[in-house]
Amino acid sequence: CKQTLKMDESETAPNDDYEHPDGLDYILESVLMPSDGSKEFKFLADEYNSVLLNPCHCKGACENSEVCAHGGQYEFTEDGSELILRNSANPVIECNDMCKCCRNTCSNRLVYSGPRKHLEIFDSPVYGSKGLRTTAKITKGGYICEYAGELLTVPEARSRLHDNEKLGLMNYILVLNEYTSDKKQQVTIVDPSRRGNIGRYLNHSCEPNCHIAAVRIDCPIPKIGIFAARDIAAKEELCFHYGGEGQYKKMTGGKTCLCGASKCTGFMPNTEIEE
């Protein structure tokens, strides 16, 4: 169930103190592309301005699915110091401002609070470009940041991909396909090349230490959350697989991959937008 409502960004914006080292427009979370007057944009805008009417009525900490209808995907580390993701294969629904639980004690709010601390944009010697690394150890399942940018319609994404290829520009467009019983349910397309956050600096690796997960808080359009796929040491560069989780098939004809992993395919995955 959802209701169309224009949200106040000051009420929903995450805590994000990072900035771009270059002149791009830094945003805290994904925003709509400029209107092109198309029916596809109208549908995207309606989804973006809709609110999921599914508040929980918990009085406790929303620790699991038995207590909270939203809970179950996050758990605390053994020492209780950090919330981590249980299983990236399952959709994540976090508590939101309409929920009855206490924001300060709820254990089902992670992406909601913004990116983790101790992240650093640096000049990556591996990729010869900007990269993102951590200055402190990250536990497997730990939240890194959102991959934030402009939310695109399919026609606009195809147009930008064509322009990027024609002009030889770097492609930052990420296409997230969600499926239910092997049937595609929703596609979310994010482009941080013009407006974005620190998520745009994560490079591709054929053996990544991070993965992505769809996380919904109060909107039908998910946030693309980046999480640690394994324990990550301090000063280690953060990378995820641009072709999607588990996609390690041989790819040819694309841009040369520089990750240097033992299972490197030799090529960067091409961005595909399915019909």
Percent over 90 (pLDDT), the chain: 53
User: Rounded CA gap, 122 and 24, in Å?
Assistant: 16
**7 has a pLDDT exceeding 70:** no
User: Rounded CA gap, 159 and 148, in Å?
Assistant: 20
Once rounded to an integer, what is the mean pLDDT over residues 219-238? Answer: 96
Strands 195-196 and 25-26: parallel
Once rounded to an integer, what is the mean pLDDT over residues 126-150? Answer: 95
140: left (phi over 0), alpha (psi -120 to 50) or beta: beta
Q: What is the pTM of this model?
A: 0.89
The residue among 174, 178, 158 whose CA lies nearest residue 220 is 178
**225 has a pLDDT exceeding 90:** yes
User: What b/e string do you get for 109-130 counting C-beta neighbours within 10 Å, with b at 16 or more?
Assistant: bbbbebbbeebbbeebeebeeb
**128 has a pLDDT exceeding 70:** yes
Instruction: Please report the pLDDT score of residue 24 as a whole number.
Output: 86
Instruction: Please report the pLDDT score of residue 61 as a whole number.
Output: 64
Q: What is the mean pLDDT of the chain?
A: 85
The residue among 193, 196, 225 whose CA lies nearest residue 212 is 225
The residue among 96, 52, 88, 49 whose CA lies nearest residue 240 is 88
Domain with CATH 2.170.270.10 in the chain: 24-52+114-245+254-259
Residues 6+ apart with CB under 8 A from 70: 54, 56, 62, 93, 94, 95, 99, 108
User: Rounded CA gap, 131 and 274, in Å?
Assistant: 29
Once rounded to an integer, what is the mean pLDDT over residues 181-185? Answer: 70
Is-contact 13 28, C-beta < 8 A? yes
Highest mean pLDDT among 5-9, 63-67, 108-112: 108-112
Is-contact 24 194, C-beta < 8 A? yes
**27 has a pLDDT exceeding 80:** yes
**169 has a pLDDT exceeding 70:** yes
**DSSP at 33:** P
Say how many residues make up the chain. Answer: 275
Once rounded to an integer, what is the mean pLDDT over residues 211-221? Answer: 94
Interior CA angle at 125 toward 172 and 141, to 5°? 60
Find residue 211's DSSP bridge partners.
227
* One CATH from 2.170.270.10, 3.40.50.300, 3.60.10.10, 3.30.70.1150 for 24-52+114-245+254-259: 2.170.270.10
Highest mean pLDDT among 3-7, 64-68, 154-158: 154-158
Instruction: Please report the pLDDT score of residue 10 as a whole number.
Output: 39
Helix axes of 39-48 and 154-167: crossing angle, nearest 10 degrees: 110
**13 has a pLDDT exceeding 70:** no
